[in-house]
Structure formats: structure tokens, C-alpha cells
Amino acid sequence: MYPENFRYTKEHEWVRAEGDTGTVGITFHAQEELGDIVYVDPPKIGARVDVGSSLGSVESVKAVSDIYSPVSGEVVEVNEALADAPEKMNQDPHGEGWLARIKLSHPEECDELMTAAGYQAYAGAEK
């Protein structure tokens, strides 16, 4: 369920680091809790983020959830497909439903996040 090469946060975001770029999204558990996603408010390209700062928000019909950055760096790309098809975040949260790409200022931050096994246990316990 949860890809081994990702790292995970307690707020249910994931990051996949490749060199000094990290791709970020929300986890399967997160999209399940939210229900049908109707709108994604992405971060701005060029925005500098720290660990825990806002990466935009995700809306279902009845709720809004803020997304927090798992890493620090600069937003270099956002997933434009989500503008027309926010449901991609439900359908493929770890793949096509990615949110943004960040140029990592401190790639070692990823090592401090949960592994797939750790997150699986954490998300399971949350239920």
C-alpha cells in the first residue's frame, strides 16, 4: 500500500526524494478520511517553505484540510492536472495525485520522517 521509497509525516503527507528534488502529496489514508476531493488549492511556485509550513489545502464537500510541507525548500512545480481533475488525489494519491515538487534545501530532513512500515502502523492505529 505505502511505497517503500516514500517518507511520511504525522499529518499524512508523503515525500519522495530524488536527488535534491522532493515530490510531495497526501497519503491514501488522508484521501480516504477526506472523502471525495472537490478542489485543491496548490502552493505558489517559487514559494519558500519550511517543515510544517502551508502547502495549500484540499477540500471535500464538507471539509477543508490544510497540507503541511514535510520538508524545507522552494516549490518548483505544482501538479496542474489537479485543477481540472481533483479526483486524481483520491484515485492515485501516491502517483498521479501528487501535489508539488520542492527543491530541497536540506535533503537529510527526509531521514527523520516515518518509513512506510512506520506510517502503516501509525495510520492503522489512528483508525
Q: Which is nearer to other proteins, 44 or 124 (CB)?
A: 44
Quick one: CA dihedral 80, 23, 14, 112, positive or negative?
Answer: negative
Measured from the CB of residue 2, what is the shortest distance to other proteins in angstroms? 26
Contact pick of 1, 10, 18, 38 for other proteins (by CB under 8 A): 38
Q: Which amino acid is at 121?
A: A
36 binds other proteins per the rule CB under 8 A: yes
Contact 26, 11 (CB under 8 A): no
Q: Which amino acid is at 11?
A: E
Contact pick of 33, 59, 77, 92 for other proteins (by CB under 8 A): 59
Q: How many residues bind other proteins (CB under 8 A)?
A: 12
Grid coordinates given for 22: 522532493
